[in-house]
Amino acid sequence: MEPVEYRPIQNEDVEALGTILGDTWHTYTDGRKRIACGVIDLANFAQRNTFAEVAVIDDSPIGVIMARAGMPDKQTQDHWASIKHHACEELNKLGGCASDLTRFFDAMEKADRDLLAHSDCDPDFELVLFAVSSEARGLGVGSTLMDHAQRYLAAQGASRAFLFTDTDCTWKYYEHRGMRRAAEQSFADDGASILPERMFVYEMNLEGIKGVMHAALP
């Protein structure tokens, strides 16, 4: 097997990363619809990144991590908004319904804001997105990506940072990493909810981590 390399995200990575996210969260559909849904997810998260790194084998992405220190610049937000717009158009042309994803994002963002408000986390430093392909698990890719993001956040002056997760994700990984559950909310008893059964905010301690600046691309 070729060695795993780590580099800033590039536009050419969008399709492969959309496939990873589609395979993770959109198994109810397939083919181009699944990939389009994954690209919409990717762009939705990426609109708030100030750091984005991918793990690649033979220049093919097998994992991604994004983080935020403060707010991204307008160029980054506009770049990913455009990618999201085009992916939504593609999904609609394929017979999907991009508005359903938008409605889900809106509900998630409201729930996330409420969770963050009920925590004591620093809102300026966030781990935005973390995903590794199923084929790459067990290679140490996730741990390396996480280490790089934490070093980036530490370099930006963070002593702690937070992340959102839920029961539709591998949330127990963050407890294995020693992160603290700062807030949670259950939607299991709400039959009308489109949200995951439980949603969480976790906080990571970055004190003692040596910060190293990594390049971030929009």
Smallest CA-to-CA distance from 65 within 17, 136, 119 is with: 17
Q: Position 121: which residue type?
A: C
**pLDDT, tens only, 112-171:** 999 999 999 999 999 999 999 988 878 899 999 999 999 999 999 999 999 999 998 888
Q: What is the pTM of this model?
A: 0.92
pLDDT tens digits, one per residue of 61-70: 999 999 999 9
Q: Give CB contacts under 8 A, 24+ apart, made by 169-175.
A: 171/200, 171/202, 173/142, 174/202, 174/204, 175/202
Fold (CATH) for 4-205: Aminopeptidase (3.40.630)
> Do 50 and 26 contact (CB within 8 A), yes or no?
no
Q: What is the 3-state secondary structure (H, E, C) of 15-84?
A: HHHHHHHHHHHCCCCCHHHHHHHHHHHHHHHHCCCCEEEEEEECCEEEEEEEEEECCCCHHHHHHHHHHH
Domain coordinates of the chain in residue numbers? 4-205
How does residue 2 score in pLDDT terms, banded at 50, 70 and 90?
Answer: confident
